[in-house]
Amino acid sequence: MDTAERREKLLSFLRNAKKPLTGTQLAREFSVSRQIIVGDISVIRATGTTIYATPRGYVLPEDVPDDTGLVATIACHHDKLNMRRELEIIVDNGGFVRDVIVEHPLYGEIRADLMLGTRHDVDVFAKRMDECEARPLSMVTSGIHLHTIEVKDDESLSRICSQLRECGILSEV
């Protein structure tokens, strides 16, 4: 199989996937290194196809909630210990966490796709962070960060903000 054919099949795998696919899974499937898959994903993106790289693997936009709800950006501030609590509050109240954004003094805005919509998603994310011994992106900015979230209505957003405020996590701008 040549490179173009592999990329075409890779995109087909992503379109037909019922859940996110990791680079390691895809590398095994195509008998190449994970780095080759990362490169393939970059080339596919360069052709205009949106592919999200989430903590659980690669997904296409069709795999995430559509824009039928309300999209909001919230500012938060907490330490690593409260990260899980923050994400649980959002998803428990019907929110979908699209990303995390920090403002780096040198690089400017840094954004990472999260795509978390359930407690299970949060559990997988937290477990992966522990396994990697990674620090949250927000630690670059002493815990200050933004999230783009999607909710079904103003009431859900209000509930999320209220509970985050009660926990001292919501940053009032």
- The mean predicted confidence, pLDDT, of the chain is 89
Read off the pTM: 0.73
List pLDDT tens digits, range 116-155. Answer: 999 999 999 999 999 989 888 888 888 899 999 999 999 9
Domains and CATH numbers, the chain: 3-63 (1.10.10.10), 70-166 (3.30.1340.20)
Q: What gap in Å lies between CA 27 and CA 39, rounded to an integer?
A: 11
Phi, psi (deg, nearest 5) at residue 69: -100, -160
Q: Which residues of 133-164 are buried (b: 16+ CB within 10 A; e: fewer)?
A: eeebbbebbebebbbbbbbeeeebbebbbebb
From residue 92, how far is each of 31, 88, 124, 127 by CA, in Å? 39, 6, 15, 18
